[in-house]
Chains A and B, each alone.
Chain A
Amino acid sequence: MVIQNDMTTMEKLTILSDAAKYDVACTSSGVDKKNNGQGMGNAQACGICHSFSADGRCISLLKILFTNECVFDCKYCVNRSSNDVVRATFTPEEVCSLTMEFYRRNYIEGLFLSSGIVKSPDNTMKLLCETVMLLREKYHFGGYIHLKGIPGASPDLIEAAGWYADRMSVNLELPTADGLKALAPHKTRKNILTPMRQIQNGIIDNKNQNVIGSNRGYNASRNLILSNSELNLEASSNKQIITNITRMDYAVATQNKPKFVPAGQSTQMIIGATAESDYQIVTVAEALYNQYDLKRVFYSAFINVNKDSTLPAQTAGVPLLREHRLYQADWLLRFYGFKSNELLSEDKPNFNVLLDPKCDWAIRHLEQFPVEINRADYYTLLRVPGIGVNSAKRIVKARRSSKLTFEDIKKMGVVLKRALYFITCVGKMMYDTKIEENYITSNLIGIDKKKTFEIENHNSYKQLSFFDDVGYNISPDHMEGIKALAGQM
């Protein structure tokens, strides 16, 4: 292992952002907060993209590792201990000044801080906690912070992090416990699910707590971070407009009550490194949403960065189409009222390559169609291919005043070339089409062919963005976009 000292910030940033790039979640959504009047920064529930990198992914947060030193040896990870790569470590002050200076210039929405495991999980978690504490209390940063929960770290430290972060995530890494055992020998399913449960409970408790209760938890955590710490919270420069901040001020100013992980938690799974079926993956995601109240599950198409011979060789490239289908299904679970066992089953464990999951479902359930646009309830409309959350809402509201025609719903965002096989307006279908499986399938595949080809050959693959409208072809308007992202639907 090469460890260099005396690196410049530029060198560290290069290494530690390069090492962090495989983490998917760069969203800054889920929390609305005003500037506390004393420092810098606020947050918008819709999230804001500040740029888009050459791979078309949104850049919202300064996504870096605190260090890429790591005692773990996960086969898929570029930072594993057995890799001979240059290692670097930030100081907390460096992370803070980068965050503040980038934020002032409006390059970023906040900080996404993850880390390799240096010495032990507890030691690493403590370093992360110290860094965000410094950022909040010395630099008075009020923007978004996404912090990784380190598997195996003590519950006290996980809790401490939760009082300073807006969102936390503990990566599931692989969809099944067996996969984890095979590829990440130092991590166990239990070590991942325990902090996830703890954060979930912490969020629920915090909602029910009063100001005094929350402050007690917050202060205990604060003292824990400060114990045995060399952290210096004194503002060194006189540039700070505010000086005598008392330790309660941050909490008081941010809406009176300290908030525990107010933007909720997320996780991510690597897709295609192990042999799980789509059905297994979707079932796991569904369980995480239902049992752990996760805000988001991210799917990361496996890239064999280590060229490890025990992992899939990827002659066909990165499995982007599969990742895309999983995101489409994820959207169906969260906003469209679908259940995983409606989309897939033991007998049909993988998604159709040619059709998106919603069209696929509709074609297998033709007995439920066509539906009448002017009468069908909201959830029935949502199940029609070509109708999304926004257009369904618009239809439900607009039809109160007068009957809607195909022309009307087209303007409201319905994709008629998909929807026309499944709907009637005032009792009539748009054309004289057959409602017959093979006929509709071949027509819909025709529409999707170009897109599917492009994703597989990664031409114009549309990366899931904040506005996650992929596959539904409706750009949500601003307000509804906000709601969609904040999970308020």
Chain B
Amino acid sequence: MDKIICVCEDSVDGIFTAIYKAWEIGTSKTLIEIRGIKTMTLFAEYIEVNTDTELASKVAASIHSKISEEVYYYVYRAALSDDSDKAQYIYEFLLKAFRMGKDIIHKLQDESVMKIFELARKVGNESHKYLGFVRFCELENGILSAKINPLANVVSIVAEHFADRLHNENWVILDTTRNIAAVHRAGYGFVLTNDISEQDLDQFSNKSENEEKYQLLWNRFFDTIAIEERKNKKLQQQLMPLRYRKYM
């Protein structure tokens, strides 16, 4: 029998909605794919799944209550990954997880567990690097503005960190690969906004009076702090790969 492929939006809610639908249809005959990433196959039936936050939160809630917080943490992070097969991996993993319960996360000899573990770790590593490598630039109205170009969709993780750290600042972090921005108003939380391009942001990007000065000071510090006798560019690049430096 042909498989039924549920095609969904590339978001946590999108994937969770598709899992709900696929479950309803029957787990033995369904697969899940992210929209627009994979080539369509001939011998399969395709169903378009529209993201439904209510259904998605039902799935999230049952992961929390029937499996564990920890499993939710891994699945959530895996869902942010840039892997083209992630939706199917998460689906397979959750089918097992609902059967086996919270201890599944330690069963790394199982291929689908290992897969989720790796995806989550990769997303975690990238977002952790960005916590350090994000560079804010002060605009003339005092707003701090930053751009990142991550592989995975880490802007929400990164923004959460800065919402606490720079609580009393107005700031925006734009993911230029996805055109998603996290916007934070001083004293409040942050919101994610879609469809903001780099050009949109650049329109309001007149630097503040002091910005240049502090950038120069920082560059000087960066140069003088290195020890000539220990110079090692290869190591520097290994720890801070070039792709992170685009907006540094």
Contacts and interface: CB of A to CB of B under 8 A. Distances in A.
Interface of A: 9-10, 13-14, 17-18, 20-22, 34-35, 37-42, 44, 46, 48-60, 62-63, 98, 101-102, 104-107, 109, 143, 241-242, 301, 303, 317-318, 320, 394, 397-398, 400-402, 404-405, 408, 411-412, 458-463, 465, 475, 477-479
A143 to B, nearest CB: 8
A477 B124 contact: yes
A115 B165 CA distance: 28
Contacts of B248: 51
B214 interface: yes
Contacts of B55: none
B217 A98 contact: yes
Interface stretch (B34-42, B45-53, B235-243): B235-243
A465 B167 CA distance: 29
A37 B163 CA distance: 11
Contacts of B226: 21, 53-55, 57
Pairs of residues from A and B, 7 with the lowest C-beta to C-beta distance, nearest first = A56-B235, A478-B124, A397-B106, A53-B226, A55-B230, A54-B226, A408-B109
A107 B138 contact: no
Nearest to B137: A105
A281 to B, nearest CB: 19
Interface string B214-233: 10111011111111111111
B231 A55 contact: yes
B103 interface: yes
Nearest to B232: A56
B44 interface: no
Size bracket of the B interface: 35 or more
A18 B186 contact: no
Q: With a 10 A CB-CB cut-off, give which of A46, A48, A63 has the most chain B CB atoms.
A: A48
B125 to A, nearest CB: 6
A34 B164 contact: yes
Contacts of B135: 105-107
Instruction: Name B's interface SS.
Output: helix
B168 interface: yes
5 contacts: A21-B225, A44-B161, A51-B248, A101-B214, A241-B186
A106 B134 contact: yes
A59 B222 contact: yes
A56 B239 contact: yes
Contacts of B114: 411
B98 interface: no
A134 B7 CA distance: 57
B20 interface: no
Given A104-B136, A402-B109, A463 B235 contact: yes
Nearest to B144: A104
A62 B217 CA distance: 11
A367 B134 CA distance: 51
Contacts, number: 184
Instruction: Name A's interface SS.
Output: loop
B197 to A, nearest CB: 23
A23 to B, nearest CB: 10
Q: With a 10 A CB-CB cut-off, give which of B125, B162, B187 has the most chain A CB atoms.
A: B125
B234 interface: yes
Contact of B168 (A18, A52, A241): A241
B221 A318 contact: no
Contact of B132 (A10, A22, A34, A49): A49
A478 B187 CA distance: 29
A109 B146 CA distance: 17
B168 A461 contact: no
Q: With a 10 A CB-CB cut-off, give which of B125, B136, B166, B167 has the most chain A CB atoms.
A: B167
A206 B222 CA distance: 36
B25 interface: no
A104 B138 contact: yes
B92 interface: no
A405 B240 CA distance: 35
A400 B105 CA distance: 12
B109 A404 contact: yes
Contact of A55 (B134, B138, B227): B227
Interface string B119-137: 0010011001001111111
B210 interface: yes
Contact of B236 (A17, A54, A394): A54
Contacts of B165: 35, 40-42, 143
Contacts of B103: 400-401
Given A38-B168, A60-B132, 18 more contacts: A10-B220, A21-B225, A35-B164, A39-B168, A40-B165, A41-B165, A48-B132, A51-B222, A55-B228, A55-B236, A57-B227, A101-B214, A105-B214, A106-B146, A320-B230, A458-B231, A463-B230, A477-B121
A53 B236 contact: yes
B107 interface: yes
Contacts of B187: 241
